[in-house]
Amino acid sequence: MRNTRVNPDRIAADLEALARITDPGRPWTRSAFSPRFDEGRRWLTDAFTRAGLEVALDPGGNLIGTRSGSDPAAATIMLGSHSDTVPDGGRFDGPAGVIAALEVARMLDERGIRLRHGLAVVDFLAEEVSPFGVSCIGSRSMAGLLPEAWLELQHDGRSLGQAMRDVGGNPAAIAARGGIKAFLELHIEQGTVLESSGTDAGLVTTVAGITRIEVVLTGRPDHAGTVPMGARADALVAAAALITDIDAAATARAAQRHFTATVGEFSIEPGAANVVPSRARLLIDARAAERPEMEDFAGWLDARLAALPTGIMAETRRLSDNMPTAMDAGLVAELEGAADRIGASRRRMVSGAGHDAAWIARIAPAAMVFVPCLGGRSHCPEEWAETADIALGAELLAEAVIALDRE
Amino acid sequence: MRNTRVNPDRIAADLEALARITDPGRPWTRSAFSPRFDEGRRWLTDAFTRAGLEVALDPGGNLIGTRSGSDPAAATIMLGSHSDTVPDGGRFDGPAGVIAALEVARMLDERGIRLRHGLAVVDFLAEEVSPFGVSCIGSRSMAGLLPEAWLELQHDGRSLGQAMRDVGGNPAAIAARGGIKAFLELHIEQGTVLESSGTDAGLVTTVAGITRIEVVLTGRPDHAGTVPMGARADALVAAAALITDIDAAATARAAQRHFTATVGEFSIEPGAANVVPSRARLLIDARAAERPEMEDFAGWLDARLAALPTGIMAETRRLSDNMPTAMDAGLVAELEGAADRIGASRRRMVSGAGHDAAWIARIAPAAMVFVPCLGGRSHCPEEWAETADIALGAELLAEAVIALDRE
């Protein structure tokens, strides 16, 4: 393991302690707004306090530990991620970034490094899709971009607004936070680029835009035994060819730039063994770092659907459409310099997943550091990142923070 | 409309009367063992009686109207089909064959044609998949081939055995019926061969065998945004290519001989928009007139599944496997002669659907007459056959019965 100023053992111990706070018999589950989440927050509050941070909750329910700077007028350097998890996954997705941020604060104290800027360590509320069906609640709130209507979303007899109050937030006071000099988020890559290229750190240039397109193909429900092969309008056969082409179209685009397209939801009707399928529903999840690339894909899809076999009709609907978010170019360059100084190999990359950093980017310069994860697995019990890799990422954050503080 | 000895108006009126006996607001639904089915049976009993037939129920719950012959020692010529329907369909699938048989008996009486052989008009019990999950209950019973364990199948707190007793059957007395000289069943084609070739009658040489094969493909559930296209093991993409190939393999075989393969049931897991599908389940319904053709297809499938993309595993299971059933060659020739004498165009063909005739073929010479149906549609509210076509089919039955009687 490389020598770092941050303490890898302390990072490993903290992640292990957080991991142990999981729903009984279900590794690793600490869903936002659950009793387990509250337990994790109590553990974090205690850990932040022991690190000498002043702990508070902001109106969006974000847990923030602050280390004051020598210049009270200077803006805040912010580090953080989220402690909530998806069901059955998330031992590192989220917690790694919170603990790395905490470790940076501890290391600075330990080494007597006083910063001119205040340093904030943030655990954003409910980054994952919450039981209320929405995500990034804390970071949207901090950016002043939480849709007010969401506060009325209901789960288990409780509104999201009430749930936010229950964790200590104050939705009525939500407003865009100012005075952030820079925001940096460490996160596991959730992909295989770093692992397969043997790179220490991924420096995110863009968080990909996500467009979800529903396609419904309609054919004719014929008798599976009596209607000859050539006389059918089989919606599943048409959908199969479409899925093959979507996969090929996305793979061709991915050879040039970051692009993915996945059919993750798929169903047919009537779904009887002896009836030719008359209807197929596909939900396409497409992600691109550049908006024109997404428009090009959508155009390709329209053209593809205009050339369906006889008897097959298509309807499409864009269920959601989020633009790509560029990270701050200056911060990315700052991270590159910091990586070179500490001897960490690095590459620029696109994040295919959404992150809190994409919301904070709306109110402040923001950037992300990805660390390698085993086999690109995430959102599953097998999700794993090596302590040495997380520690090197934390070291990179620390180096960047010190450099930013001197600007 | 051609001149026929049978009365087309009477056939049309009977089919209309039966169609009206349907679940309220649901055309055309008369499921076996339902109150509506009982109402249909009462209507048929009355119609059989008015036609001078002696009505009885056999142990298998089949409604049989008998017209005695001049030679009490002679075997019975049997005609019939079924009056139960699938939900939302079946205005002609079944009833056309029962009413055509009834009309033959009425015409013979009307014209004073006394036969040497007795004539039986049969409404077989529960040909369609019944609420008990099984089909062809009456014809299996008449052949002595109803599995005894089926009598214990339960639906809505009632056993199949009890349901059979409730319609007037006596399952304890089920045995293969002897003394059938010939069995002829008229049925709508449920396909487009007759319609598209402008042929009056299809003479079934074989009822295809049906083999159902379940295929489960297993890949890996990756994050849809972060795992690059080339690094995935997407079970849906693999299944899509497989479905395309199954369709092509079946279409190639169908160019030579009757063959169909349909994936009618299909599902994926986990079925989340942002997760690469890790599992796909296909149910293949394959039908062939010749057993070696089916074995060849099964061999092709095994080879295809041995060449899956990296990371995709396949498991297969043969859920059911029924042999093809040959119709009686002599009876088919008899029907050809009869068709030629009445000036009906005809062609030999394979039935891709199962029928009561395939069960009666186990105990007696059996054959089928298919009549054209609109667009090949069946098992749906739009199912339609022209009265003239059914009447010509009934005329063909009558001509064959008279010829058979003289042998």
Task: Region of B249 please: left (phi>0), alpha (psi -120 to 50) or beta.
Answer: alpha
B288: closest CA of chain A, how far (Å): 9
With a CB cutoff of 8 Å and minimum separation 6, the contacts of A248 are none
State how far the Cα of B4 lies from the Cα of B397, in Å rounded to an integer.
12
Q: Which amino acid is at B398?
A: A
pLDDT of residue A61: 98
3-state secondary structure of B29: coil
HSE toward the beta carbon, residue A173, CA cutoff 13 A: 12
Query: A36 and A103, same structural domain?
Result: yes
Q: Pick A222's closest partner by Cβ from B223, B351, B376.
A: B376
In the predicted structure, residue B44 carries a pLDDT above the cut 70? yes
How far, in Å, CA of A253 to CA of A367, rounded?
25
Which residue type sits at B9? D
Report strand pairing: A201-207 vs A346-351.
Answer: parallel
B344 falls within a domain: yes
Residue A89 has pLDDT above 90, yes or no: no
pLDDT for residue B114 is more than 70: yes
Does residue A180 register a pLDDT over 70? yes
The minimum CA-CA distance between B163 and chain A, rounded to whole Å, is 25
Nearest to B264 among A192, A276, A287 (CB): A276
Q: Would the CB atoms of A271 and B264 count as touching at under 8 Å?
A: yes
H-assigned helices in A116-267: 137-142, 160-166, 193-197, 235-254
Specify whether B284 is located in the same domain as B394.
Answer: no
Cα–Cα distance for residue pair A276/A219, rounded to 1 Å: 9
Are the CB atoms for A338 and A403 separated by under 8 Å? yes
Distance CA A14, CA A26 (A): 19
Among the listed residues B53, B57, B49, B44, the one whose alpha carbon sits nearest the alpha carbon of residue B18: B44
CA A288 to chain centre: 15
CB contact under 8 A, A239 and B240: yes
Reference B242, options B199, B280, B205, B272; nearest CA is B280
CA pair distance A220, A234, nearest whole angstrom:
7
Per-residue model confidence (pLDDT) at position B3: 87
- In chain B, the residue whose alpha carbon lies closest to the alpha carbon of A282 is B273
- What is the pLDDT at residue A25? 87
Average pLDDT over residues A395-402: 98
Cβ B191–A226 below 8 Å, yes or no?
yes
Q: Which of A368-382, B174-188, B359-373 has the lowest mean pLDDT?
A: A368-382
Query: What secondary structure letter does DSSP report for B52?
Result: T
Range of the domain at B286: 209-321
Rounded to whole angstroms, the Cα distance separating B225 from A206 reads 13
Helix (H) or strand (E) holding B293: helix B291-305
β-strand partners of A216? A281, A315
**Residues B200, B213 within the same domain:** no
Tokens matching residue A299:
């155009």
Q: How far is B379 from chain A (nearest CA, A)?
A: 7
Nearest residue on chain A to B271, judged by CA atoms? Answer: A265
| B134 min Cα distance to partner chain A (Å) | 14
Whether A313 has a pLDDT exceeding 80, the answer reads: yes
A244–B237 CB contact, under 8 Å: yes
DSSP tag of A173: G
Same domain, residue pair A285 and A333? no
> CA-CA-CA-CA torsion for B15, B19, B21, B23, nearest 10 degrees?
160
Number of H-type helices and E-type strands within chain A: 11, 15
* pLDDT for A1: 59
Q: How many CB atoms lie within 10 A of CB B152?
A: 11
What is the reported pLDDT for A87? 87
Which chain A residues are within 8 Å of B193, Cβ to Cβ?
A: 228
Q: Are residues B45 and B158 in the same domain?
A: yes
**Residues B198 and B216 occupy one common structural domain:** no
For A208, other C-beta atoms within 10 Å of its C-beta total 29
pLDDT score of B98 more than 70: yes
Size of chain A, expressed as the number of residues it contains: 407
Tally the domains of chain B: 2
Best B262, B276, B285, B370 member to test A by mutation, with max A CBs in 10 Å, is B262
* pLDDT class of B88 with cuts at 50, 70, 90: confident
Average pLDDT over residues B152-167: 96
Q: Do A260 and B234 touch (CB under 8 A)?
A: no
Q: Tokens 């104050």, residue?
A: A170
Q: How many Å lie between the alpha carbon of B329 and the closest alpha carbon of chain A?
A: 21
Query: What is the average per-residue pLDDT within B118-126?
Result: 98
Side chain identity, residue A366? A
Q: Report angle CA B156, B161, B162 to the nearest 5 degrees.
A: 60
Closest Cβ opposite residue A224 in set B234, B247, B262: B262
Q: Are A331 and A251 members of one domain?
A: no
Taking CA atoms, A79 is separated from A116, A208, B12, B268, B269, in Å, by 16, 21, 81, 39, 36
- Of A227, A234, A241, nearest to B192 by CB-CB distance is A227
Q: How far apart are CA A167 and CA A9, in angstroms?
A: 30
Q: What is the pLDDT of residue A379?
A: 87
d(C-alpha B343, C-alpha B341), whole Å: 6
Say whether A352 and B196 touch across the interface (CB within 8 A): no
Give CA–CA dist B157/B306, Å, rounded. 45
pTM (two decimals): 0.87
Q: Report the residue of B226, B278, B284, B325 to disrupt the A interface, i.e. the one with the largest count of A CBs within 10 Å.
A: B226
Residue B278: its chain A contacts at CB < 8 A? none
B217-264 confidence digits (pLDDT tens): 999 998 999 999 999 999 999 999 999 999 999 999 999 899 999 999
Contacts 24+ apart (CB under 8 A), A159-167: A160/A130, A160/A132, A160/A134, A163/A33, A163/A132, A164/A60, A164/A61, A164/A125, A164/A137, A166/A33, A167/A33, A167/A37, A167/A38, A167/A41, A167/A57, A167/A61, A167/A125
Average pLDDT over every residue of A338-354: 97
Angle at A87 between CA A48 and CA A353, to 5 degrees: 80
Within a domain: B2: no
Q: Do A251 and B241 touch (CB under 8 A)?
A: no
Radius of gyration of chain A from Cα atoms? Answer: 23
Q: How far is residue B308's CA from residue B235's CA, in Å, rounded to a whole number?
A: 10
Residue B361 domain flag: yes
Tell me: do B195 and B141 sit in the same domain.
yes
* Angle, CA of A147, A148 and A150, to the nearest 5°: 70
Task: Determine contact, residues B122/B63, Cβ cutoff 8 Å.
Answer: yes
Nearest CA in chain B to A251: B229
- Partner residue opposite A193 with nearest CB, options B212, B228, B262: B228
In a domain? residue B1: no
Q: CB distance B254–A189 less than 8 Å?
A: no
- The pLDDT tens digits of the residues spanning A259-269 come to 999 999 999 99
pLDDT at A274: 87
pLDDT digits (tens, 9 = 90+) for B255-298: 989 999 999 999 999 998 889 999 999 999 999 999 999 999 99
Nearest-CA distance A150 → chain B (Å): 21
Residues of chain B neighbouring A244 (CB-CB closer than 8 A): 237, 240-241, 244
pLDDT at B2 over 80: no
Q: Does B264 sit within 8 Å of A277, measured CB to CB?
A: yes
How far apart CA A399 and CA A115 sit, in angstroms, is: 12
Mean pLDDT of A242-267: 96
Among A286, A321, A356, residue at a domain's last position: A321
Contact A224 B351 (CB under 8 A): no
- B274 → closest Cβ in A237, A273, A285: A285
Q: Is B88 a member of any domain?
A: yes
Specify whether A158 is located in the same domain as A12. Answer: yes
Chain A residue numbers with beta carbons less than 8 Å from the beta carbon of B351 are 225-226
Are B289 and B172 contacting, i.e. CB atoms less than 8 angstroms apart? no
| Tokens 């009757």 sit on residue | B258
Determine, yes or no, domain membership for A2. Answer: no
Q: What is the rounded CA–CA span in Å between residue A57 and residue B147?
A: 70
Convert the pLDDT of each residue in A115-171 to its tens digit: 999 999 999 999 998 889 889 999 999 999 999 999 999 999 999 999 999 999 999
- pLDDT at residue B90 is higher than 90: no
Domain end point (choices A296, A321, A346): A321
- Look over chain B and give the mean of its residue pLDDT values, rounded to a whole number: 96
B383 within a domain of the structure (yes/no): yes
**Residue A361, domain member (yes or no):** yes
Same domain as B229, residue B192: no
3-class secondary-structure state, position B73: coil
Residue of A nearest to B350 (CA): A226
CB burial string A364-403: b at 16+ within 10 A, e below:
bbbbbbbbbbbbbbbbbeebebbbbbbbbbbbbbbbbbbe
Q: Which amino acid is at B332?
A: V
Query: Looking at residue B41, which CATH number applies to its domain?
Result: 3.40.630.10
Query: What is d(CA B204, CA B335) in angstroms, rounded to the nearest whole number?
Result: 10
Kindly report the nearest CA distance between residue B351 and chain A, in angstroms: 7
User: Does the beta-carbon distance from A378 to B262 stay under 8 Å?
Assistant: no
CA distance B28 to B39: 14
Closest listed residue to residue B80, CA positions, set B350, B268, B360, B386: B360
Which residues on A lie below 8 Å from B268 (Cβ)? Answer: 266
Tell me what the mean pLDDT of segment A49-65 comes to: 98
CATH number of the domain that residue A265 is part of: 3.30.70.360
Among the three residues B297, B321, B345, which one is the final residue of a domain in this structure? B321
Set of chain B residues whose Cβ sits within 8 Å of the Cβ of A231: 191-192, 196, 376
Nearest-by-CA chain A residue for B246: A237
Summarised one tens digit per residue, pLDDT across range B3-22 is 899 999 999 999 999 999 99
Mean of the per-residue pLDDT values of chain A: 96
B298-354, pLDDT tens digit by residue? 999 999 999 999 999 999 999 989 999 999 999 999 999 999 999 999 999 999 999
A349 and A294, same structural domain? no
B172 exposure class (CB count in 10 Å sphere: 0-12, 13-18, 19+) = exposed
Residue type at B335 in one-letter notation? L
Tokens for A128, please give them. 């994952």
Identify which of B208, B223, B265 has the shortest CB distance to residue A273. Answer: B265
Chain A neighbors of B228, CB-CB under 8 A? 191-193, 254, 260
- 3-class DSSP state of B23: coil
Separation between Cα atoms, residue A77 and residue B82, nearest integer Å: 80
* Residue B146 Cα to chain centre, angstroms: 17
Contact A265/B273, CB-based, under 8 Å? yes
> Alpha-carbon distance A138 to A123, whole Å?
9
- Taking the C-alpha atoms of residue A300 and residue A261, their distance in angstroms, rounded to an integer, is 13
**Are A37 and A101 within one domain?**
yes
